[in-house]
Amino acid sequence: MKRILVIEDEPQMRLGLRDNLELEGYEVETAVDGDEGLQKAGSFAPDLVILDVMLPKKNGFDVCRDLRARAISTPIVMLTARSAETDKVLGLELGADDYVTKPFSITELLARVRAVLRRTGSGTPKPTADVIQIGDIEIDFKLHQARRGKIRIEFTAREFDLLRYFVQHTGQVVTREQILNEVWGYEEFPTTRTIDNFVAKLRQKIERSPHAPEHILTIHGSGYKFVG
Ligand code: CA
């Protein structure tokens, strides 16, 4: 049974989410603020965190950052209320995996949760080796960690999935459509520009010179090709 932690201060929203998620067969734990959320992210060991942005004391952005700073790579779906918040989540510099804007339908939220869990879950095909070397970077797909020498490189869960997909298709040209279908899934509708943005982020993290990539190559008119 997949475990979901809901961090939300509004009682009605918190209980509503809990009931609906439990009806879907998830095991649910809730937290009313950021501190309790951080504590339960450790003790409850959720498979996914639903995190509201508007929280008392520490806001959702800070909680998200703190989780990642503690090397907790559990996927996070953020609940946002304003377009400015959405823009911030879309920047994805916080380490969130997805977001839903309030007011949302429970159907929509459940679809996002399923998609994120599927993308990050055990059903994801794994590369042949857990640890691979790309240039001067060592990537451990099992531990979701990457480092260049002693310096740790942080990835969001989705960046990691995309990187894993590239590695699994080393030497092959993959189209943006293939990436959309296989990394994002059919329940979501990102644009091909989203893919390009993620590729740009990955290049910044793994390429020595992001503007002259040696590993994630653009194949004009087709898509991308990863070379190790
Ligand atoms: Ca709230």
**Residue 219's domain spans which residues?**
131-226
Which CATH number covers residue 94? Answer: 3.40.50.2300
pLDDT category of residue 189 using cuts at 50, 70 and 90: low
Position 21 scores a pLDDT of 96
How far, in whole angstroms, is CA 32 from its chain's centroid? 23
Give the residue with greater pLDDT, 87 vs 224.
Answer: 224
Amino acid occupying residue 219: I
Position 126 scores a pLDDT of 40
Asked whether residue 127 carries a pLDDT value surpassing 50, the answer given is no
Backbone phi, psi, residue 48, to 5°: -160, 145
Q: What is the mean pLDDT of the chain?
A: 85
Distance 210 CA to ligand 1 centre (A): 38
Position 205 scores a pLDDT of 93
Which CATH number covers residue 196? Answer: 1.10.10.10
Distance 20 CA to ligand 1 centre (A): 18
Distance 218 CA to ligand 1 centre (A): 42
Kindly report whether the global pTM for this prediction surpasses the value 0.85. no
Q: How many CA atoms lie within 13 A of 81 on its CB side?
A: 10
Q: How far apart are CA 3 and CA 177, in angstroms?
A: 31
Distance 53 CA to ligand 1 centre (A): 7
Position 37 scores a pLDDT of 95
Percentages helix, strand, coil for the chain (3-state, rounded to 5) are 40, 20, 35
How many other β-carbons are positioned within 10 Å of the β-carbon of residue 13? Answer: 14
Instruction: Give me 6's structure tokens.
Output: 């809901």
Q: For residue 126, is it within any domain?
A: no
Instruction: Give me 100's structure tokens.
Output: 């839903």
Count of domains forming the chain: 2
